[in-house]
Amino acid sequence: MPLAETLHALHEEIAAACRQAGRNPAEITLVAVTKTRSPQLVREAWEAGVRHVGENRVQELLAKKPLLADLDLTWHLIGSLQTNKVKAVLPHVALLHALDRLELAQAIAKHSPAGPLPALIQVNTTSEASKSGCAPGGVDPLIDAVRAIPQVLLRGFMTIGPWGGSEAENRRAFALLRTVRDRNATRHRDLDLSILSMGMSDDYREAILEGATHLRIGSRIFGARPMPPPPLDSGR
Residue 226, pLDDT score: 64
Which residues share a beta bridge with 214?
29, 197
Domains of the chain: 3-222 (3.20.20.10)
Residue 227, pLDDT score: 53
Exposure class string for 37-69: b at 16+ Cβ within 10 A, else e: beeebbbbbbebebebbbbbbbeebeebbeebe
* CA dihedral (14, 202, 173, 214) positive or negative: negative
Average pLDDT over residues 71-76: 98
Rounded to whole angstroms, the Cα distance separating 186 from 162 reads 27
Average pLDDT over residues 5-16: 98
Rounded to whole angstroms, the Cα distance separating 178 from 184 reads 10
Residue 97, pLDDT score: 98
Q: N- to C-terminal Cα distance for the chain?
A: 42
pLDDT of 36 higher than 60: yes
The pTM of the whole model exceeds 0.85: yes
